[in-house]
A and B are shown apart, each in its own frame.
Chain A
Amino acid sequence: MEEKQNFQTSLDFNQNIFKPSTRKEIVEIVKNCYKKSIPLEISGLQSKNKIGRNFQAEKTLDLSNYKGIIDYKPEELYIKVKAGTPISEIEEALKKNNQQLAFEPNDFGYLFSGESNSGSIGGVVACNFAGSRRFKVGSVRDHLLGFQGVNGKGETIKSGGTVVKNVTGYDLCKILSGSFGTLTVLTEISIKVLPKPETSKTLIIKNPHIKKALDYLGRSLSSSTDPSGGVFYPDYFGKNFILNDLTHDGGLTGIRVEGPMNSVDQRINRLSKELALIDNEFSVLDSVQTEIFWNKTKNLEVFKNLKSNLIRVVVPISETLQVIQKLKKDDLNYFIDWGGSLIWMAFDQLNSKILSEIKEITKNHQGYYTLIKIEDDFKASADIFTIDPIKYKISEKIKKSFDPKRIFNPGKMYTGI
């Protein structure tokens, strides 16, 4: 519906933090900020607010009160929620119908504050970080069916809907996913949900060597056993997993298989044969342990309360080994997800020289990095996100088309955007 142009102001514009509970209020705040060119920091549940460049914003638009499930139709496989709705609330509702968010949103709470905080759906869409099922089911952006939001002029806009197939107009769901709140304030989000698999098991292979691990992962992902997760944890992380059926505490490769019970057993057997594993070389986690293992992975629990820096690197699978070898320093701790394509790297020491080296190496290997956690004194000068000059120019134009006065999270991704 069209917004009314002149509704009564109920908000106190002298405050620095706005906590609206209606869309009308959000529109009012943005219109006011647009008129006065006041930069706004968009925030949700503070789970990922430390990701991104430092920037100055006079006011904060806190969406944590703008929450709640608007419409959930399990048989239509979607849920429509307000942007500030906690992921935990959504997952709870889905669980009752044996459904899930298949993209497994990362929980960055452990990393930043030592305890779970999976954030809000708005934040998850804004960051577009997906968990281990990425290579099978896609990222957050692949599950966003539609949204309603408020652009930088205070106009309510929408795109997509609640049906899976929809090619009406430009797919703005995609451009908003991963835009870190720099284009539009999301208000309503319709997201695809999927049935939970009947069961799941994980093949754990004892193996400390990355080369061998990437070979296992590559072969599994190219097999018809259809795995839905593939990780490698080097030796130093092995001790982080204490599970009944995990028979060793060193480096490990984990491959998850999901589906009907018979089929999962059949595929796990087949995988162990295809990978030519001998009996004492592997163990199999049942569904309970599987859930624990993959939750720990998506929640980056091996980096709980990390004091040092964390970098997220995405490269084609064929490049992973070389990237690791080139970046291997004494203080590097890493693990690999997405069947080999995602590398989480923790460095004790990070400076601009090392960072430009990482940038160069990931670029040369057709990938990119995002600085997730970084020491405060280095943060101001570091490139948190990478971009090439042509895409920067296009990004500037797109930013302007949504937010002409640059009031939303200005500079959070790049200077000038």
Chain B
Amino acid sequence: MSSLQMPKVDSLILSKKDKIVSDIGRIINPKNVLSHPDELRPFETDGLTAYRQMPMVVVMPETVKEVSSILKYCNDNKVKVVPRGAGTGLSGGSLPLEDCVLMAMGKFNKILEIDYENRCVVTQPCVTNLAITHAVQDKGFYYAPDPSSQIACSIGGNVAENSGGVHSLKYGATTNNLLGIEVVLMDGTITKFGGKAMDSEGYDFLGLMTGSEGLLGVITEVTVKILKSPEIVKAALIGFPTIEDAGNCVAEIIAEGCIPAGMEIMDKALTKATNDYSKAGYPTDAEAMMIVEFDGTEHEVEAYIKKAKQIAEKNNSSSLKVSKSHEERLKFWAGRKAAFPACGVLAPDYMCMDGSIPRGKLAEVLREITRLSKKYDLPVANAFHAGDGNLHPLIMFDANDKNSLKKCEDFGADILKYCVKVGGALTGEHGVGIEKRELMCEAFNDKDIQQQLTIKVALDPNSLLNPGKVYPILRKCAEEGRVHVHGGKTKFPDIPRF
């Protein structure tokens, strides 16, 4: 594991490991309590594989009551808990702690109800994102948010991270497609926020929990909206001689009032890599390649495609192909969706970054990334959810070389700082986790962070649920001079700092 500082290990808790294992073994089926190193190994990392840590114990509850009892036990005994869904998160949100109980939600894997009348699905949290669409597609429905990992990522994890995807430009991220959740707080309280109705009473706890990265509660049930599948979907594959032209085309399409279902840009490096990998028929001579997709009724899609074509031509497009069939459209996407494995061929390891920027700053940010790539001497390929300004630079490095990992992390941090500088955000859809934790002070000042920490403390006074994630551990932040510390005294001495 790299040098990232994690919350102080509680040696007293570690010394009581056997007792904790047997106590929890009385709360749930002891077969669902794992403590042998061989059993713990699969849980040592999530999608951010550069960081690894074995948990003290893994528990796999089967009912909400079990979740509640375990959390209550851990709260009473001051044991840290790290929740985990499918373990595909890219920001290290479910990285275990040495002295934690890792709560693996894998047994919550059933869809509970499909309700076409209210156009929603009630499901357990460890059902995969794609399984929801699979369950309703025979009736012509689907679940809109589609993170790239949708074949494997869990819907509960999507809620915890507020996952987006290629189509969030038109259909929003998880938070906009969620109707309700059942959640267990650290003290064992079981409650429901929202339900099948479109709004719910009082404060919007559903919205607060969504994207809270497992710090405020453990999600045990999820109700999502499903949408009627569009009548037709068409995509255009457009090449541009410069990134600027592609960026201008994006801005103009949006300004013209066409909201595509998805609008993706890849730079030359990634276009070539993905085309070599998946033979998608991409224009590999173009400096930038765009896939723009429209859905709706036939007339609507035709009108938008026509408009997009005109705008692309006006912006010097070098090639333009419109999908003529469902298969051809999927082929267009095949390359983009294979961006990760394609980079895997180019380098031993890669790190996927996730910054969000104003659409108009695309060319400027890509120029900066090119400059940084030279500075750090690491190759980078860029994928971009251009419609909603979400940038995914894939930095290639060699994890066996410690210096290379360090350089990669510094490179990534510089990209994200630049995103914030141009008016964007540190993370568009992957979450902060541990990956971007130390950068929070770039986006927020002390007061902003303290307000968020006060909410955390209100719901989890001992900071036992997923500690060390999202918010900087004070010492580190203070060392970097970002949090104002005067005379060694912090402003809010009563607030636990993990």
Cβ-defined contact, A169 with B440, below 8 A? yes
Question: Which residues of chain A are near B258, meaning CB under 8 Å?
Answer: 195
Residues of A within 8 A of B117 (CB): 218, 317-318
CB pair A98 B257 closer than 8 Å: yes
* Contact residues in B for A141 (Cβ distance below 8 Å): 204, 207
A195 touches B257 (CB 8 A): yes
Q: Which residues of A contact B208 (CB under 8 A)?
A: 170-172, 174-175, 398
Bound together, the chains give a CA A77 to CA B257 distance in angstroms of 10
Contact B447 A157 (CB under 8 A): yes
Q: Say yes or no: A224 contacts B297, CB within 8 Å.
A: yes
Q: Is B377 an interface residue (CB 8 A)?
A: no
Which A residue sits closest to B442, measured CB to CB? A168
One of B57-65, B103-111, B227-235 at the interface: B227-235
Most buried by A among B116, B229, B358: B358
Q: Does B364 contact A (CB under 8 A)?
A: no
| Contact yes or no, A135 B211, CB < 8 A | no
B388: interface (CB < 8 Å): yes
- Closest B residue by C-beta to A313: B197
A168 touching B202 by the CB < 8 A rule?
no
Chain B, range 403-456, C-beta contacts under 8 Å to A: 423-432, 436, 440, 443-452, 454-455
| Interchain CA distance A364-B389 in the complex, whole Å | 43
Residues on the B chain within 8 Å of A158, using CB: 444, 448
A385 at the B interface (CB under 8 A): yes
For residue B204, which residue of chain A has the nearest CB?
Answer: A174
A134 touches B198 (CB 8 A): yes
Verify A260–B458 contact, CB threshold 8 A.
Answer: no
Chain B residues with CB under 8 A of A197 = 257
A198 to B257, CA, bound (A): 8
Determine whether the beta carbon of B205 is less than 8 Å from that of A391. yes
Q: Quick check: B300 and A76 within 8 Å, CB to CB?
A: no
Verify A167–B211 contact, CB threshold 8 A: yes
- Given that A161-B424, A196-B257, A341-B197 are known contacts, is A318 also in contact with B115, CB under 8 Å in the complex? yes
Quick one: CB contact mask for A153-191 with B, threshold 8 Å, 1 for yes?
001111101111111111111110111000100000000
Q: Is A315 an interface residue (CB 8 A)?
A: yes
Closest B residue to A263 by CB, please name it: B300
Q: Let me know if B459 is at the binding interface, CB within 8 A.
A: yes
Residues in A whose Cβ lies below 8 Å from that of B454: 401-402
Of all chain B residues, which has the CB nearest A270? B297
Do the beta carbons of B458 and A397 come within 8 Å of each other? yes
For residue A2, which residues in chain B have a CB less than 8 angstroms away from its CB?
A: 445-447, 484
Bitwise interface map of B from 90 to 126 toward A, beta carbon under 8 Å scored 1, else 0 = 0000000000000000000000000111110000000
On chain A, the residues within 8 Å of B7 by CB distance are none
Interchain CB contact (< 8 A) of A390 among B191, B230, B446: B191
| B304 A165 Cβ-Cβ under 8 A | no
A157 to B388, CA, bound (A): 25
A273 to chain B, nearest CB (A): 13
Task: State whether A76 touches B360 (Cβ < 8 A).
Answer: yes
Are B425 and A155 in touch, CB under 8 angstroms?
A: no
By a CB distance below 8 angstroms, the chain A residues around B448 are 157-159, 169
Q: Which size class do B's interface residues fall under? A: 35 or more
Contact B197 A315 (CB under 8 A): yes
* Residue numbers in B under 8 Å from A173 (CB-CB): 207
Instruction: Say yes or no: is B379 at the interface (Cβ < 8 Å to chain A).
Output: no
Please tell me if the beta carbons of A395 and B297 are within 8 angstroms of each other in the complex.
no
Cβ A260 vs Cβ B196 within 8 A:
no
**Interface contact B204-A128, CB-CB below 8 Å:** yes
- Do residues B229 and A224 form an inter-chain contact, with CB atoms below 8 A? yes
Contact of B176 among A138, A183, A224 (CB under 8 A): A138
**Is A221 on the interface with B (CB-CB < 8 A)?**
yes
Chain B 220-232: CB-based contact to A (< 8 A → 1; otherwise 0): 0000000011110
CB pair A135 B198 closer than 8 Å: yes
Which residues from chain B contact A73 at a C-beta distance below 8 Å? Answer: 358, 360
CA gap between A161 and B448 in the complex, in Å: 13
The answer to whether B424 and A367 touch across the interface, beta carbons within 8 angstroms, is: no
**Measured CA separation A121–B238 after assembly (Å):** 40
B359 pairs with A174, CB closer than 8 A: no
Q: Does B315 contact A (CB under 8 A)?
A: no
Contacts of B390 in A (CB 8 A): 165
Contact B296–A226 (Cβ < 8 Å): yes
B152 within 8 A of partner (CB): no
Name which residue of chain B comes closest to A363, CB basis: B201
Distance to closest chain A CB from B410 (angstroms): 20
Query: From residue B116, how far is it (CB to closest CB) to chain A in Å?
Result: 7
Q: How far is the CA of A155 from the CA of B385 in the complex (A)?
A: 35
CB-defined contacts of B457 to chain A, threshold 8 Å: 401
Residues of B close to A74: CB separation below 8 A: 255
* Interface assignment of A326: CB less than 8 Å from any CB of chain B: no
Cα–Cα, bound, A363→B296 (Å): 36
Contact B446 A178 (CB under 8 A): no
Interface 9-mer from B66-74, B161-169, B336-344: B161-169
- When the two chains form their complex, are residues B198 and A338 in contact, meaning their CB atoms are under 8 A apart? yes
The answer, yes or no, to whether A142 is at the interface (CB within 8 Å) is yes
B251 at the A/B interface (Cβ < 8 Å)? yes
Contacts of B452 in A (CB 8 A): 159, 169-170, 172
| B360 close to A165 (CB less than 8 A) | no
A290 CA to B173 CA in the complex, in Å? 30
CB distance from B486 to the nearest CB of A (A): 12
Q: Is B382 an interface residue (CB 8 A)?
A: no
Q: Is the CB of A161 within 8 A of B425?
A: yes
A194's nearest neighbour on chain B, judged by CB, is B259
Closest B residue to A156 using CB positions: B447
Contact between chains at A221 and B427 (CB < 8 Å): no
Q: How far is the CA of A153 from the CA of B293 in the complex (A)?
A: 48
Residues from 171 to 215 in B contacting A, C-beta threshold 8 Å: 172-173, 175-176, 185, 189, 191, 193, 195-208, 210-212
Give Cα distance in the complex from A164 to B175, angstroms: 12
A75–B457 alpha-carbon span in the complex (Å):
40
Residues on B with beta carbons closer than 8 Å to the beta carbon of A394? 185, 189, 191, 203, 205, 459
Nearest chain-A residue to B201 (Cβ)?
A: A368
A259 contacts B300, CB within 8 Å? yes
B residues bordering A, Cβ < 8 Å? 115-119, 140, 161-162, 164, 168-169, 172-173, 175-176, 185, 189, 191, 193, 195-208, 210-212, 216, 228-231, 251-252, 254-259, 296-300, 302-304, 356-360, 385, 388-390, 423-432, 436, 440, 443-452, 454-455, 457-459, 470-471, 484
Provide a sorted-by-A list of 8 A–B residue pairs whose CB atoms are within 8 angstroms: A165-B389, A167-B432, A171-B211, A172-B452, A260-B299, A314-B199, A342-B198, A398-B203
Question: Given A171-B162, A198-B257, list of 5 further CB < 8 A pairs?
Answer: A163-B357, A165-B429, A179-B203, A262-B302, A398-B455
Interface residues of A (CB under 8 A from B): 1-2, 73-77, 98, 128, 134-135, 138-139, 141-142, 151, 155-159, 161-175, 177-179, 183, 194-198, 218, 221-226, 259-260, 262-263, 265-267, 270, 314-318, 338, 341-342, 366-368, 370, 385-387, 390-391, 394-395, 397-398, 400-402, 413-414
Which 5 A-B pairs have CB atoms at the shortest separation, nearest pair first?
A174-B207, A195-B257, A263-B300, A165-B428, A316-B196
